[in-house]
Every structure is written in C-alpha cells, then in structure tokens.
Structure 1
C-alpha cells in the first residue's frame, strides 16, 4: 500500500488539495473516506468535478477504505487519503488501517469548539481522540499547506488551552 499522505480536511477536494497537495506529494489517486459522502450523489458529483485532471478518485466508506487498502487494491498507486473528520481517522485506525502519521488541515469553527489555529477548530471529543492517537504512537500535525511547518497538533492544543 502506498499511502503518501493522510489529511483531515472537511472541505475534501478543493483548490489547495487539487493544486498544491496533489502536486507537492506527486500522487496519482485521491481516496476520499467518509460514510456520509458515499451516500450523497451531489457531493460525489462535486468531488468528481473537483478532481484534478490525471488523478484517479476513490470515494469510500471507512470500512471499505480499510478493506481496500489492507487488501492491496491501491498498491500500484501513490495515494492521498482525505478524511472529513477526526472520528473517521480513529475509526479507520481501530478497523486496522496502518496509520503512522496524518495532518489536520482544515476544520472550520463551530459553536463550543476550541480554535487551535486559524484553520482548525476542535471539539472536546476531537481533542480526546487526537491525544489518544498520539499516545498510540501516531504523529499528528496541523498544517494548511505543504510549505508550512508540520507542527505537532498537541502543541497547538496545549497553547489554545492555556
């Protein structure tokens, strides 16, 4: 399996992903992983339109993504995996997806959340999950674009909670 990068970005495929991340990582497939997206024709069609030319696209439920990656379905591809939220990453990890590192790029602010940086706001549940994943040995960074430093997310969380 050649997962080049795992990113949490609620916008999924958008300008930064389509132009900056795919080219910087030199990927040839984007895998969008979210249980709700696979059931929403409007979102599926929007993702297909947003997909950069020459890049293959897979839109998968969390369970199917884990099955496909673990079965080696994308072994010939260089894949950028996009999750819409932190909970889906945790679920994929719990189901057996090998995750050693991932990046939180954009989660917009909602009522009751903690803003840890300009583009990332987290619920208490997100923070608990992230701390658990880091304790499990996963490197979690917060990074908007590839040339921004890949800083450990806990440093942003701890600073926001001071």
Structure 2
C-alpha cells in the first residue's frame, strides 16, 4: 500500500495541494474522502479542474474509499488522501486503513470555530475526533506547505484549548 500523504484541508484540492504537495510527494492519485462531495457533481467537476495533469482523482464516500484502499485498488499508485475535516479520516482508520500521519493544513474559520493557528480553526467535535485519532497512535502534524516546518498538531491543539 502506498499512501504517501494524508491531509485535512477545507479547500480540498487547490494551489498548495495541486502544485506544492503534489510535486513534492510525486502524487499519482488524489483521493478526496467526503460523503457530501462524492454526491455533488458540481463540486466533483471543480476538483477535476483543480487536479494537475498526470494526477488521477477519486472522490469517494468513506465506506467506498476504505473498501478500495483495503482491496488494494491503489497499491500501484502514490496515493494522497484529502478530507475537509478529521471525521472521515477517523472513520477510515476505524475501518482498518493504515494511516501513520495526518497533516492538518487548513480548516477555515466560521462563526462556530475557534482558532488554533492562523489557518486552523476547530469546533468541539473536531477536537474530540483529533483526540480519538491520536489515541489510535496516528501522528498529527500541522504544516501548510512543504517548505514550512512540521509542527506537532496535538501540542498546538492543547495550547489552543488553554487560551
């Protein structure tokens, strides 16, 4: 299995992911894991347009994504998994998908969120999910672009909780 990256990014595929991360990691396929987006043809069309030439794209609900990964469908490809929020990634992990590290990139600010970093904003449900992911032994990092230093996300989260 060749999962070369797992990222949380509210924007899914955009300039940083399509250009910087895809090039740095030599991505062969983006796998967007999102039940809502998988059923939205307009959003899927936008993601196809944002995907760089030479990189394949799958946009799947959690169950189908887990089935495909575990069945070895992407074994010959360099797979980069992207989700908007942590919940779908926890579901993948609980279904047996081997995830070692999750890069928390951008989680947009809304009226309901609180800021952890300049670009990462969470609600209580996200915090609970991040804690569950960490309890499963998955390393969580914060890194917007490959040239940034990788930071321990759980430390940032704890600091944000104590503000």
The two structures have a TM-score, normalised by structure 2, of: 0.96
Partner of 2:54: 54
What residue number does 1:106 align with?
106
Q: Which residue is 1:13 aligned to? A: 13
Counterparts of 1:12-91 in structure 2, within 5 Å, are: 12-91=12-91
**Cα distance, 1:143 vs structure 2:** 1.1
- 1:110 is paired with a residue whose SS is coil
Larger displacement relative to structure 2 (5-14 or 93-102): 93-102
Aligned residues: 162
Cα distance in 1 for partners of 2:70, 2:158 equals: 34
Q: What is the CA distance between 1:113 and its match in structure 2?
A: 1.9
Return 5+ residue gaps in structure 2 as ranges: none
Question: Unmatched 5+ residue regions in structure 1?
Answer: none
Displacement of 1:161 in angstroms is: 2.3
CA distance in 2, matches of 1:85, 1:132: 14
Q: How much does 1:112 deviate? A: 3.0
> C-alpha distance in 2, partners of 1:61/1:105?
21
- 1:137 equivalent in structure 2: 137
Q: State the superposition RMSD in angstroms.
A: 1.0
2: CA distance, partners of 1:158 / 1:39: 35
Report the secondary structure of 2:129's partner residue: helix
Spell out structure 1 runs of 4+ moving beyond 3 A: none
Give the 3-state SS of the residue equivalent to 1:117 in structure 2.
coil
Shift of 1:7: 0.3
